[in-house]
Chain A
Amino acid sequence: MTERPFLRTFTTPAALCALGFAAAMAAVLQYSLRAYVPGSLDPGGFTLANFADLLKPLYARVFFDTVVICAVTAVATLIVGYPLAYALVHIEQPILKSTLLVIVVTPLFLGEVVRTYSWIIVLGNNGFINSILLSLGLVEKPLQLMFTSFGVVVALVHVTLPVMVIMLAAGLSHIDRDYARAAESLGAGPIRVFLTVTLPLSMPGVVAGTTTAFAWTFSAFATPQLIGGGRVNMISNLVYQLGFASFNFPFAATLCVAGLALTAVVLGLLQIAARPLQKIKVH
């Protein structure tokens, strides 16, 4: 092996950061194994009761809802994002291309709270959608969009879209155009080229995008808090309620640990399911 004197210099800051994160994680883990003393901010003695409490229907339900909301959001983002990513990669006009890119990326630059409030304006009973539907006479009373899972998913798709589109576009742009040209030369029309060549070759990007979208939504807080309004709860909201409304830090820590473990398990399963796709060598 050759000497790499810079390696140590460059990795030291990273190692220090990692140490900090590890210490924080250890603290959370430690809290999750302590008993809750009502009326006190200090935790009690060692116990596994917090983890047993996770199985109570009240809490298990939130975990289940979170996974469902994340899964639905990831799939919906994929469906909305794929055509956008495809257009982004295949549009040749520079102005059109950069316009599309700016539109796609903008949600990343808005604060989470600002973005969520704008969705309240759109989804509310007197909001944009309902006033249009009412004035057109399509509905008689406002549709209930706020405080529903549907509203939460819509807003989450908006947040997640930039990440999905960027990951899909990266995957799509790595597909050599000659594959599509070869298929065309062999008599395949545009739809067949897409279904038999472009789509299968873009699967690594689809898997990466969906996985990231899932993880990205799992920790959502402001969106379910404001749009769900307490009627749609995700893990982060539960942690907030227990930690900052009930001051039950040990159980809040347990929820964090369980949430982290669940994310790891789900992502691991996705990777295993996607393993056959990794064999596709696009180049």
Chain B
Amino acid sequence: MQAIPTIEQNEAAVRFDAVTKRFDDVVALNAVSLDVQTGEFLTLLGPSGCGKTTLLKLAAGFLGPDAGAISINGRRVNELPTYQRGIGMMFQNYALFPHMSVADNVAYGLKTRRVPKPERQQRVAEVLALVKLTGMERRMPRQLSGGQQQRVALARALVINPTVLLLDEPFSALDKSLRTSMQVELREIQRKLGLTTIFVTHDQSEALSLSDRVAVMSEGRIRQLGSPVDVYRAPTDQFVATFVGDNNKLRGRLLSVGDSDAVIELGSAQIKVPSERLAKLEKSAPVDLFVRPEQFCVVSANEPSAMTGHVVAQIYQGGHVDLQIECPGASRDRLLVRSAGDQAVVRWPMGATVGVSIQPGGCAAFPAE
């Protein structure tokens, strides 16, 4: 029987294939390959200058790659100008046309597509209802609040049924409470429409809370690509471990390496970690152990524990308390220890000598740097 050619089921909506981009002598992107699946919410996360915005601009067509290929829905777009790519984009400052009303801003992409007026009006009304801005049609952008401006920007990008939605740090200009509600709302709309989305941010908590997958970037490369849980729980290198979420870095020694687990000695404690990154190390080699603040457990000084130290700062956060603990024997830096509830405030006062133990599971270790 002859094989019938079929359309590949999991054709990536956006594919970057070994994409390189240089600015003069600076390599902004170094042979980056990335597949964004249809309907997925993928976040490019990294510090400023890591190349995440460059990657987004390449997808939009504001920049062209020096090497490699970019395709959208299986079509190579390297040479395709922005206005023929059918993308929707939200800018950091929203870039609402200041000389046009809300309705004209939203209708702009429909006019360029020569959508007839009755249909245009209907679609503008629908999308404004979706972003809860019905009745604001005739306002000018400067008459809107930051949150409302953002909704208009979203509506303007959505109304053209884009093949992919590109978001360039759209929440950075909003205050914190508004930001959270806008994030939830954006994600709901994105799910409802099944819209492939690439989201750029330097805010790791935003990346963790919103994404299907996160690509952590630094120095023009993708360091790790995975679900938020993967990236948080199983970082693949020290950069990711440090950049995503709060982390404590401790110096330990390798006791033994097995097929899947390795045991690390830290003071009097022995901690089991995945052995993947440590396979090449010899026994008793130094390792960097990363422990999340919530994996520490504070106990009385006379109980058995991994380390002892004293409390130097208490940061009350309502739902939890962050303690900074100085452990001269274990780490040069203060340990950040997170304790759920607020009992820690009275139980471990400033200056108290305490023991710190580590809960098993969920630590990451790398060869010492």
Show the binding face of A for B, using Cβ within 8 Å: 176, 178-179, 181-189, 192, 196-197, 200-201, 279-282
Q: Please give me the residue from chain B that is nearest to A193 by CB atom.
A: B83
- Residue B95 is within 8 A (CB to CB) of chain A in the complex: yes
Asked whether A179 and B112 contact (CB < 8 A) given A185-B89, A186-B156, the answer is no
Task: Answer whether A187 and B89 are a contact pair too, CB < 8 Å, given A181-B62, A281-B98.
Answer: no
The yes or no answer to B91 lying at the interface (CB within 8 A) is yes
The reply to whether B82 and A176 form a contact with Cβ atoms under 8 Å apart is no
Chain B neighbourhood of A279, CB < 8 A: 140
With A and B bound together, what is the CA distance between A201 and B96 in angstroms?
Answer: 12
Ranked nearest first, the 3 interchain pairs of A and B with the lowest CB-CB distance are: A186-B109, A187-B112, A178-B95
Q: Is B93 positioned at the interface, with any CB of A under 8 Å from its CB?
A: yes
In the assembled complex, 11 residue pairs joining A and B whose CB atoms fall closer than 8 Å, in A order, are A178-B95, A179-B95, A181-B95, A182-B96, A183-B97, A186-B109, A187-B86, A189-B83, A201-B97, A280-B99, A281-B98
User: Which B residues fall within an 8 A CB radius of A?
Assistant: 60-62, 81-89, 91-93, 95-99, 108-109, 112-113, 140, 142, 156-157, 160, 166
Q: Is the CB of B98 within 8 A of A187?
A: no
Complex partner residue of A176 from B85, B95, B140, CB under 8 angstroms: B95
Known: A181-B91, A186-B156. 5 other contacts (CB 8 A): A182-B156, A185-B85, A185-B89, A279-B140, A281-B98
Given contacts A181-B62, A187-B83, are A280 and B98 in contact (CB under 8 A)?
Answer: yes
Contact A182 B160 (CB under 8 A): no
Residues from chain B with Cβ under 8 Å of A187 in the complex: 83-84, 86, 109, 112-113, 160
CB <8 Å contact, A182 and B99: no
Please state if B99 and A201 are interface contacts (CB–CB under 8 Å).
Answer: yes
Residues of A within 8 A of B85 (CB): 185
Q: Given the known inter-chain contacts A185-B60, A188-B112, A200-B99, please indicate yes or no for A178 contacting B93, CB distance below 8 A.
A: yes
Of the candidates A181, A183, A188, which one forms a contact with B60 in the assembled complex, judged by CB atoms under 8 Å apart? A181
Chain A: minimal CB distance from B172 (Å): 14
B108 and A282 contacting across the interface, CB-CB below 8 Å: no
> Is A282 in contact with B91, judged by CB distance below 8 angstroms?
no
* A186 and B60 contacting across the interface, CB-CB below 8 Å: no
User: Which residues of chain B come closer than 8 Å to A189, judged between CB atoms?
Assistant: 81, 83, 112
